[in-house]
Copies of this chain bind each other. A is one copy, B any other.
Amino acid sequence: MRFTSRTSLDGVTESHFTVDDVPGVLWTPTAAGPRPLILIGHGGGQHKTAPGVVTRARRFVTGGGFAVAAIDAPHHGDRPKGAEFGRIAGELRAGMAAGGDPAALVAAMHEHLAGQAVADWRAVLTAVQLLDRVGTGPVGYWGMSMGCGLGVPLVAAEPRVRAAVLGLLGATGLASAAARITVPVRFLVQWDDERVPREQGLALFDALGSAEKSLHANPGGHGDLPSIETDSSLRFFARHLSQDGVVVPGS
């Protein structure tokens, strides 16, 4: 693990790093000491410091005392783009432009990335947990859309992840991995999602194997997730990842 920059602003330290070839960012409170960690998986075409990632990361740090890590997904952000990825991405763009249901094309894209993405997250998690300011406490995962498509196989495979907030994606290609998830899950649906038909999102929630799972649906399209769900995610993680010495927000 190699750190490339470190800045602090308003009580949050932001450190950029690489683990092998994977570029990532770690946000922590400026105070020393271990704390629970939340991994944030970005959406398709985005990257580790997309505005939605940074806003949630800072909120989780300042509101809950968590450490937060994000990485560039394979073929995203600062990582090189492969030819096969370009071909699949082109098919997906063409399919979406044609106005049909792109569920199968989205699933093909996520399947192309998932194996590498899960390996990347596991290596980064191991490296980050060696840091004194993180430690080996409970880990959560937050990811919507592609962040859900790569998160479902990660959470299904990785026992260090104890709770997850997922959503904005349908069940195509994910039902069997979702059924292997047993940790508490909060699942978010946008009621008027123009990319994910409502029934497909509900079907992915339904497929989750977790005994403790809850669905939150709000009006609006794929990009209209209300900010109140960020605070609700924070309380969800505070309930499920809290441990001695962690600042937990009210209720």
Which residues of A are interface residues toward B (Cβ below 8 A)? 63, 189, 191, 202, 205-206, 211-219, 226, 231, 234-235, 249-251
Measured CB to CB, the nearest residue on chain B to A250 is B250
Q: How far is the CA of A211 from the CA of B218 in the complex (A)?
A: 10
A217 is contacted by which of B205, B218, B226 (Cβ under 8 Å)?
Answer: B205
Q: How far is the CA of A249 from the CA of B250 in the complex (A)?
A: 7
Measured CB to CB, the nearest residue on chain B to A206 is B191
A216 is contacted by which of B215, B219, B226, B234 (Cβ under 8 Å)?
Answer: B215
Mostly, the A contact residues are mixed
Q: How far is the CA of A218 from the CA of B63 in the complex (A)?
A: 25
Q: How far is the CA of A211 from the CA of B219 in the complex (A)?
A: 8
Which B residues are in CB contact (< 8 Å) with A251? 63, 231, 234-235, 249-251
Which B residues are in CB contact (< 8 Å) with A202? 202
Which B residues are in CB contact (< 8 Å) with A63? 251
Q: How far is the CA of A63 from the CA of B211 in the complex (A)?
A: 28
Measured CB to CB, the nearest residue on chain B to A213 is B219
Q: How far is the CA of A215 from the CA of B217 in the complex (A)?
A: 5
Q: How far is the CA of A234 from the CA of B191 in the complex (A)?
A: 23
Interchain nearest-CB distance for A170 vs B (Å): 16
Q: How far is the CA of A250 from the CA of B232 in the complex (A)?
A: 12
Which B residues are in CB contact (< 8 Å) with A234? 251
Measured CB to CB, the nearest residue on chain B to A211 is B219
A214 is contacted by which of B205, B218, B249 (Cβ under 8 Å)?
Answer: B218
Ordered by A's residue number, 15 sampled pairs between the chains whose C-beta atoms are within 8 Å are A63-B251, A189-B215, A191-B215, A205-B217, A211-B219, A213-B218, A213-B219, A214-B216, A214-B217, A215-B218, A217-B217, A231-B251, A235-B251, A250-B250, A251-B251
Q: How far is the CA of A151 from the CA of B211 in the complex (A)?
A: 31
